[in-house]
């Protein structure tokens, strides 16, 4: 089906004063459906206004073009009406006359009475009947902006173009006008493109948000679908469980662009430093503020990176999606990753182009738990079976949401395994949503979710806040499973092999330090600093350096809740289970050449060299069956056989894929 609007790989090049070209935007492409509301957001200089000006016909593209309902846009026209940030009213005309100026010019063939009716209809539409015969100087700024919107709507444009229409208004007036515009667009099925700097405004109004990268050569960095229900009310939207996840994605994107801009300035006209045989010593590594970031923090604070000739900048990211994008964009040389992320990125999860990504080091094992809300505890839920009884009694009367941190995370896969073990279908009996780790507790308190599976300290934090209780740890599901790994792009590893080896050696030595029980208090003090977790150590100590209270009147005295030096070489058998589970739940198709993919992702040569240099014993490889606590047995040599018999398997819904 032909798109209502298509911006077809548009570029715009300007000439500077010295005659050299300045590429403002490059290869900008998106399309939209009729009746859709799209916002464009980004930092100043990212080309938002350039795109809108070309769309309005006030500017022309250097390359590419824009097609609206099958007709190319080459000049301004009444099928596109632009609402400016400033109202742009003629001061000598009344409200009625300013609107009539557009109607009488564009709809001049209509009878006079019909034109009067249209003018009055649009005055009433924006609630200005009482001020219809007042001049701009006699009305407020918000009312002036409503006149501009009414004027634009009065000639029935195909698409409404909004250039930060509420940017000059006070917060109260802006909120009222946003709600009025939302009501008009919903009731009249108006298509709109708006540029804005306001993240909350974009979330409230938009069906999709287009996020622009920095200029020059700005492009679309990401398109976010705003899956909040319509019609929207501000308070209902803010309290929706997906709101802060969506907001976090936009804010994180903007933060990354700001960081990229600063790094460009910092490294302008400088080349990577080399030391001896290390090809690149200045590296940027991303991490998430969890206790599992300990090896990275220790390697930096204890001088282990420097010991191996590396100068490392650790960058705290807000979500695992931001980690993946940082590695994809090249902003991050390497990153702490969820165990399944290198495999998922290699396969092209979330409709992203496949990006071969490898791991040569397992940074940690265990460390997760499943936490349920205090409301479930009060309803009699104490374990998995009583949770099943609660779900059965609910009978789909209300949505039961559970949080995880990423589709390819062990949190997602183990939560699903746990639920499915008692015939709870994770895709039909409950809803599983992605929420960044630091937002889990607040969502639990707000009642947006009934539980979650996440790493520490966010389980013990819920217990301490009396917001939830720990119903199971990962040791109750799959003891000593792989949790976090070091991930790098395959091409990066090939370009900087000695830097990669040095990085693995530094982190493996840090894992040794973190594993020792007598070092845990020192590690705790370090990771609780502002640049890492930014938390009081009392919130992080349980389960890391002291017993773990569960919130059910008992305490877990487990010595292996978080393991940093246990079988650190990545294993193909474990990654086979992860791949099979991702296919089981419809996250990725199962690749026909799965063994080739696994051998590509799991790179053990670098680890082996690092372990030999550090005199660390290397565990023998094995493809023996993996046995789970519930008695389930997984044979890594027969993944398709497992998929064919597993409960709730999506294998029949998905074609296998060849990479």
pLDDT of the residue at 238: 84
Mean pLDDT of 504-529: 94
Residue 549 clears pLDDT 70, i.e. is over it: yes
Residue 140 clears pLDDT 70, i.e. is over it: yes
Q: Phi/psi class of residue 574: alpha, beta or left (left: φ > 0; alpha: ψ in -120 to 50)? A: alpha
Give the pLDDT band (50/70/90) at residue 1.
low
Mean pLDDT of 569-582: 96
Q: Which residue has the tokens 């009414």?
A: 150
Contact 416, 432 (CB under 8 A): yes
d(CA 482, CA 570): 8
pLDDT of the residue at 268: 47
Q: pLDDT tens-digit profile of 182-211? A: 877 777 788 889 888 889 889 988 999 999
Residue 152 clears pLDDT 90, i.e. is over it: no
Give the pLDDT band (50/70/90) at residue 655.
very low
d(CA 601, CA 584): 20
d(CA 288, CA 185): 39
Edge to edge, the sheet with strand 482-489 lists 311-316, 282-287, 334-338, 482-489, 357-366, 562-563
Which candidate, 423, 543, 425, places its Cα nearest to that of 473?
543
Contact 229, 240 (CB under 8 A): yes
Max mean pLDDT among 72-76, 106-110, 307-311, 351-355 falls in 307-311
Give the pLDDT band (50/70/90) at residue 458.
very high
Max mean pLDDT among 113-127, 246-260, 598-612 falls in 598-612
Mean pLDDT of 227-240: 83
Give the pLDDT band (50/70/90) at residue 172.
confident
Which candidate, 503, 566, 175, places its Cα nearest to that of 358?
503
Predicted TM-score (pTM) of this structure: 0.67
Which candidate, 136, 215, 204, places its Cα nearest to that of 176?
204
Residue 317 clears pLDDT 80, i.e. is over it: yes
pLDDT of the residue at 273: 40
Mean pLDDT of 344-352: 89
Q: Which residue has the higher pLDDT, 600 or 164?
A: 600
pLDDT of the residue at 35: 87
Mean pLDDT of 75-98: 82
pLDDT of the residue at 266: 57
Mean pLDDT of 574-580: 97
pLDDT of the residue at 652: 55
| pLDDT, mean over the chain | 88
Residue 107 clears pLDDT 90, i.e. is over it: no
In angstroms, the Cα distances linking 149 to 40, 125, 190, 232, 411 are 19, 10, 12, 20, 47
Helices marked H in 421-544: 440-446, 458-464, 490-495, 497-515, 520-527, 537-540
Q: Which residue has the higher pLDDT, 385 or 179?
A: 385
Residue 67 clears pLDDT 60, i.e. is over it: yes
Which candidate, 641, 520, 642, 626, places its Cα nearest to that of 567?
626
The DSSP result for 101-120, as a single string, is HHHHHHSTTS-HHHHHHHHH
pLDDT of the residue at 265: 62
Pick the CATH number of 5-257 from 3.40.50.300, 2.40.160.40, 3.40.140.10, 3.30.465.10: 3.40.50.300
For CA atoms 439, 443, 446, 452, the dihedral sign is: negative
Cα–Cα–Cα angle for 567, 569, 570, rounded to 5 degrees: 110
pLDDT of the residue at 183: 77
Q: pLDDT tens-digit profile of 235-262? A: 888 888 788 878 888 887 888 788 777 7
Q: Which residue has the higher pLDDT, 357 or 100?
A: 357
Q: pLDDT tens-digit profile of 357-377? A: 999 999 999 999 999 999 999
161-192: b or e for each residue (b if 16 or more CB lie within 10 Å)? Answer: bbbbbbbbbeeebbbebbebbbebbeeeebbb
d(CA 66, CA 630): 58
Q: ω into residue 531 within 30 of 0, thus cis?
A: no
């Amino acid at each position: 089906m032909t798109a209502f609007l298509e911006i077809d790989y548009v570029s715009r090049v300007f000439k500077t004063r010295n005659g050299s070209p300045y590429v403002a935007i490059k290869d900008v492409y998106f399309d939209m459906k009729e009746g859709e509301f799209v916002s464009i957001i980004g930092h100043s200089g990212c080309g938002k206004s350039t795109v809108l000006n070309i769309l309005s016909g006030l500017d022309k593209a250097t390359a590419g073009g824009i097609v609206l309902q099958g007709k190319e846009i080459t000049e301004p026209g009444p099928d596109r009406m632009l609402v400016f940030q400033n109202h742009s009213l003629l001061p000598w005309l009344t409200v009625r006359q300013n609107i009539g100026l557009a109607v009488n010019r564009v709809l001049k063939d209509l009878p006079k009475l019909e034109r009067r009716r249209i003018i009055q209809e649009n005055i009433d539409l924006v609630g200005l009947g009482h001020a219809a015969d007042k001049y701009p100087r006699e009305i407020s700024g918000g009312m002036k902006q409503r006149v501009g919107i009414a004027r634009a709507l009065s000639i029935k444009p195909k698409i409404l173009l909004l250039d930060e229409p509420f940017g000059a208004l006070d917060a109260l007036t802006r909120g009222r006008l946003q709600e009025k515009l939302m009501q008009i667009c919903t009731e009249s099925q108006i298509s709109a493109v708006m540029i804005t700097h306001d993240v909350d405004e974009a979330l409230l109004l938009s069906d999709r948000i287009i996020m622009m990268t920095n200029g020059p050569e700005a492009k679309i960095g990401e398109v976010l679908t705003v899956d909040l229900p319509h019609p929207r009310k501000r308070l209902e939207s803010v309290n929706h469980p997906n709101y802060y996840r969506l907001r976090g994605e936009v804010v994180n994107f903007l933060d990354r662009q700001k960081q990229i801009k600063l790094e460009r300035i910092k490294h302008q006209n400088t080349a990577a430093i080399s030391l001896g045989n290390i090809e690149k010593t200045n590296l940027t590594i991303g991490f998430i503020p969890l206790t599992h970031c300990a090896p990275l923090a220790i390697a930096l604070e204890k001088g282990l990176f420097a010991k191996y000739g590396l100068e490392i900048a650790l960058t705290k990211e807000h979500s695992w999606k931001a980690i993946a994008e940082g590695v994809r964009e090249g902003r991050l040389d390497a990153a702490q990753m969820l165990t399944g992320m290198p495999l998922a990125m290699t396969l092209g999860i979330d409709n992203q182009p496949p990006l071969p990504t490898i791991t040569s080091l397992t940074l940690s094992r265990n460390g997760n738990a499943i936490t349920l809300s205090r409301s479930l505890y009060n309803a009699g839920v104490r374990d998995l079976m009583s949770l099943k009884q609660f779900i059965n009694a609910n009978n789909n009367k209300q949505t039961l949401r559970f949080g995880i941190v990423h589709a390819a995370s062990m949190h997602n896969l183990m939560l699903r395994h746990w639920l499915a073990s008692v015939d709870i279908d994770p895709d039909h009996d409950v809803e599983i949503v992605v929420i960044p780790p630091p937002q889990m507790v607040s969502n639990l308190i707000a009642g947006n979710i009934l539980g979650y599976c996440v790493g520490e300290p966010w389980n013990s934090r819920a217990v301490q806040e009396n917001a939830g209780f720990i119903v199971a740890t990962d040791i109750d599901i799959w003891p000593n499973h792989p949790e976090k790994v070091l991930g790098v792009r395959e091409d990066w590893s090939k370009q900087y092999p000695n830097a990669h080896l040095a990085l693995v050696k530094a982190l493996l030595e840090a894992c040794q330090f973190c594993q020792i029980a007598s070092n845990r208090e020192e590690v705790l003090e370090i990771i609780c600093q502002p640049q890492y977790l930014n938390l009081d150590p009392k919130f992080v100590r349980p389960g890391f350096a002291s017993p773990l209270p569960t919130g059910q009147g008992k305490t877990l005295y487990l010595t292996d809740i978080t393991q940093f030096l246990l079988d650190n070489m990545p294993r193909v058998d474990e990654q086979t289970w992860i791949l099979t589970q991702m296919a089981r739940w419809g996250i990725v198709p199962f690749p026909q050449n799965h063994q080739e993919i696994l051998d590509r992702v799991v790179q053990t040569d670098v680890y082996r060299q690092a372990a030999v240099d550090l005199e660390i014993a290397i565990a023998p490889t094995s493809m023996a069956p993996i046995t789970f606590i519930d008695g389930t047995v997984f044979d890594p040599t027969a993944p398709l056989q497992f998929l064919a018999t597993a409960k709730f398997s999506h294998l029949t819904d998905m074609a296998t894929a060849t990479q």
